[in-house]
């Protein structure tokens, strides 16, 4: 790669990175790109860029900007080596930059607030439309304007996409435009964000490099993405950030956020007390998936309580009443911890946690069957993104007849884990952005059945 450029007057773009020992990556602040979390920098683009720097054997330096208008000139002036900001490869951008391999696809959506008049096409827009300056959204709207001359909008340098979406939520703005992958995450936090129509077809998402430089850095990019695509790292990262938010349920999301406000404070202290080494918010998310935080929840299969324990499991854990919320939370946490301890040590978080959650739902035996199928089919049995595909196969006779434990409703386990991940993400975000919602939990007597009625109900369940 170092000898890829024959022009001796121009330094190799890859050679400069290797000689300096630093990869300078430009990005934008955002939920899918880069931000400083509780334990340091996080974000899909950040993790990809950090992996590329490791691949080259150099240090990563991230230069985050607030909008693309500031970012692109830095690349043109060779102050950056590349841009990793989830940018779409629009025809206009393709004329100005070189792009690495596409690693995602996204379309651009016209966004309005749920409950307002639904604009189904550009002609229906009857209010203020604002988009971020310098983005492909402006280019797509310009193309639409050629057939819809009355279409008008404003651009802003002062706000990012998340701020514009919040303005729509607060009725300070009628419409904005957001990429579908960003919107998928934002709607888990703000379910009132509604999609009017697409203003562009799906476009490739890729990293940009300077068009005037040689192709040596681009060649390294191509090789890097080829490697992480083949070894499953790209798929695992994509699943980590986006795999559980592809499907959106407005009613479920709204009801969950209401329950966080109105129900969770009654039980939060117990989730914190009994979470052990787990994040209490994960335990709370799991309990919501199990029972919607209803202490007397029950299913036709006989599982009951906040954590939906079987009678046998409760007995093994020393739980006297599954209908007592504190006992149920303690029992569910102990049971999950026990399962997690039986996941092979080589499986690293967060995959080990997703495996444990799946086993809580479907059983360790069926989980192991899915891992065996994964290995047989040449995929990685230690990665959730691969194993969850084989969990779905446990419903198909040609697969389950070859397994030790046979048929299983593997699709329910996959949905179970995805839902918990969505609830957990929302709780984490609420803690970071609106901490007042998750502080000063109440630990006091709650309106429950009297003790004698709890015992009677539990006896009925045993019978």
User: In this structure, is residue 436 part of a structural domain?
Assistant: yes
pTM of the predicted protein model: 0.65
Task: Output 463 or 40, whichever has higher pLDDT.
Answer: 40
Local structure of 99: helix, strand or coil: strand
User: In this structure, is residue 1 part of a structural domain?
Assistant: no
Percent of the chain with pLDDT over 70: 88
pLDDT at 448 over 70: no
Distance CA 191, CA 251 (A): 8
Give me the half-sphere count of Cα atoms (radius 13 Å) on the Cβ side of residue 441. Answer: 19
Cis peptide before 211 (omega within 30 of 0): no
Q: Residue 420 in contact with residue 281, Cβ under 8 Å?
A: no
- The pLDDT tens digits of the residues spanning 153-197 come to 999 988 888 889 999 999 999 999 999 888 888 887 788 999 999
Q: What is the mean pLDDT of residues 384-409?
A: 93
Contacts of 448 (CB under 8 A, 6+ apart): 295, 323, 324, 325, 454
Range of the structural domain that residue 368 is part of: 250-462
Distance CA 387, CA 113 (A): 37
Give me the half-sphere count of Cα atoms (radius 13 Å) on the Cβ side of residue 17. Answer: 30
pLDDT at 463 over 80: no
Band the pLDDT of 150: cuts 50, 70, 90.
very high
Contacts of 25 (CB under 8 A, 6+ apart): 49, 53, 60, 61, 62, 63, 80, 81, 82, 83, 84
Q: What is the mean pLDDT of residues 144-148?
A: 94
pLDDT at 322 over 70: yes
Q: Rg (Cα) of the chain, in Å, rounded?
A: 25
- In this structure, what token pair is assigned to residue 112? 């309005």
Question: Residue 288's CB: how many other CB atoms inside 10 A?
Answer: 24
| Lowest-pLDDT choice from 42-46, 90-94, 385-389, 440-444 | 440-444
Same domain, 20 and 88: yes
pLDDT at 5 over 60: no
Band the pLDDT of 244: cuts 50, 70, 90.
low
Q: What is the mean pLDDT of residues 360-383?
A: 95
Same domain, 418 and 282: yes
Band the pLDDT of 441: cuts 50, 70, 90.
very low
Residue 256, domain CATH: 1.10.530.10
Task: Output 33 or 451, whichever has higher pLDDT.
Answer: 33
Question: Residue 230's CB: how many other CB atoms inside 10 A?
Answer: 9
Q: What is the mean pLDDT of residues 225-229?
A: 95
Same domain, 362 and 380: yes
| DSSP per residue, 67-93 | SHHHHHHHHHTTS-SEE-S--B--HHH
pLDDT of 429 reads 80
Band the pLDDT of 438: cuts 50, 70, 90.
low
pLDDT at 42 over 90: no
User: In this structure, is residue 2 part of a structural domain?
Assistant: no
Same domain, 290 and 355: yes
Averaged pLDDT of the chain: 87
Same domain, 350 and 296: yes
User: In this structure, is residue 8 part of a structural domain?
Assistant: no
Is beta strand 108-113 parallel, antiparallel or unpaired with respect to 193-198? antiparallel
Band the pLDDT of 449: cuts 50, 70, 90.
very low
User: In this structure, is residue 6 part of a structural domain?
Assistant: no
Task: Output 235 or 222, whichever has higher pLDDT.
Answer: 222
Same domain, 168 and 309: no
Same domain, 338 and 217: no
Same domain, 224 and 273: no
Concerning whether 290 is annotated as a catalytic residue, the answer is yes
Is beta strand 108-113 parallel, antiparallel or unpaired with respect to 154-156? unpaired
- In this structure, what token pair is assigned to residue 68? 């693309």
Active-site residue, selected from the candidate residues 290, 368, 412, 458: 290
pLDDT of 17 reads 96
Task: Output 242 or 398, whichever has higher pLDDT.
Answer: 398
| DSSP per residue, 344-397 | -TTSPTTHHHHHHHHHHHH-HHHHHHHHHHHHHTTS-TT-HHHHHHHHHHTTSH
pLDDT of 224 reads 97
Helix (H) or strand (E) holding 335: helix 325-341
* Number of folded domains that form the chain: 3
User: In this structure, is residue 4 part of a structural domain?
Assistant: no
Is beta strand 203-205 parallel, antiparallel or unpaired with respect to 104-106? antiparallel
User: In this structure, is residue 336 part of a structural domain?
Assistant: yes
Band the pLDDT of 248: cuts 50, 70, 90.
low
Residue 167, domain CATH: 3.40.190.10
Same domain, 307 and 441: yes
User: In this structure, is residue 7 part of a structural domain?
Assistant: no
- The pLDDT tens digits of the residues spanning 15-30 come to 999 999 999 999 988 8
Same domain, 374 and 440: yes
Question: Residue 392's CB: how many other CB atoms inside 10 A?
Answer: 15
Same domain, 175 and 46: no
pLDDT of 320 reads 93
Q: What is the mean pLDDT of residues 77-91?
A: 92
Q: What is the mean pLDDT of residues 94-119?
A: 93
pLDDT of 439 reads 56
Same domain, 220 and 306: no
Task: Output 239 or 141, whichever has higher pLDDT.
Answer: 141
Give me the half-sphere count of Cα atoms (radius 13 Å) on the Cβ side of residue 383. Answer: 17
């Amino acid at each position: 790669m170092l000898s890829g450029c024959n022009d001796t007057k121009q330094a190799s773009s890859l050679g400069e990175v290797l000689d300096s020992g630093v990869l300078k990556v430009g990005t934008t602040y955002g939920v899918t790109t880069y931000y400083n979390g509780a334990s340091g920098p996080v974000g899909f683009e950040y993790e990809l860029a950090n992996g590329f720097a490791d691949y080259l054997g150099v240090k990563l330096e991230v230069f985050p900007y607030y909008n693309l208008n500031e970012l692109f000139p830095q690349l043109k002036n060779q102050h950056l080596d590349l841009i990793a900001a989830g940018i779409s490869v629009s025809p206009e951008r393709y004329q100005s930059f070189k792009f690495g391999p596409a690693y995602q696809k996204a379309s651009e959506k016209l966004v309005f607030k749920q409950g307002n008049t639904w604009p189904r096409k550009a002609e229906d827009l009857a209010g203020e439309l604002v988009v971020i300056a310098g983005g492909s959204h402006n280019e797509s709207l310009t193309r639409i304007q050629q057939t819809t001359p009355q279409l008008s909008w404003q651009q802003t340098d002062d706000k990012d996409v998340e701020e514009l979406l919040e303005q729509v939520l607060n009725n300070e703005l009628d419409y904005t435009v957001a990429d579908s992958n960003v919107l998928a995450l934002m709607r888990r936090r703000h379910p009132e964000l509604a999609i009017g129509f697409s203003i562009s077809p799906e476009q490739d998402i890729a990293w940009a490099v300077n068009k005037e430089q040689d192709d040596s850095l681009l060649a390294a990019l191509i090789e890097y993405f080829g490697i992480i695509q083949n070894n499953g790292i790209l798929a695992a990262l994509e699943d980590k950030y986006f795999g559980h938010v592809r499907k959106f349920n407005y009613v479920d999301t709204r009801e969950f956020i209401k329950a966080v406000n109105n129900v969770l404070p009654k039980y939060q202290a117990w989730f914190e007390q009994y979470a052990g080494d787990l994040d209490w918010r994960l335990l709370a998310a799991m309990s919501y998936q199990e029972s919607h935080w209803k202490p007397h929840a029950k299913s036709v299969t006989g599982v009951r309580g906040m954590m939906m324990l079987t009678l046998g499991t409760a007995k093994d854990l020393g739980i006297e009443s599954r209908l007592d919320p504190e006992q149920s939370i303690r029992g569910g946490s102990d049971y999950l911890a026990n399962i997690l301890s039986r996941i092979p040590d080589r499986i690293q978080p967060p995959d080990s946690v997703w495996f444990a959650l799946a086993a809580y739902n479907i059983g360790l035996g069926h989980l192991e069957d899915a891992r065996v199928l994964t290995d047989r089919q040449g995929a990685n049995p230690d990665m959730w993104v691969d194993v969850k595909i084989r969990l779905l196969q446990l419903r198909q006779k040609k697969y389950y007849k070859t397994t030790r434990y046979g048929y299983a409703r593997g699709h329910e386990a996959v949905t179970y884990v995805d839902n918990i991940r969505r609830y957990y993400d929302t709780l984490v975000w609420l803690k970071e952005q609106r901490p007042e919602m998750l502080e000063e939990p109440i630990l006091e007597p709650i309106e429950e059945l009297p003790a004698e009625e709890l015992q009677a109900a539990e006896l009925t369940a045993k019978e």
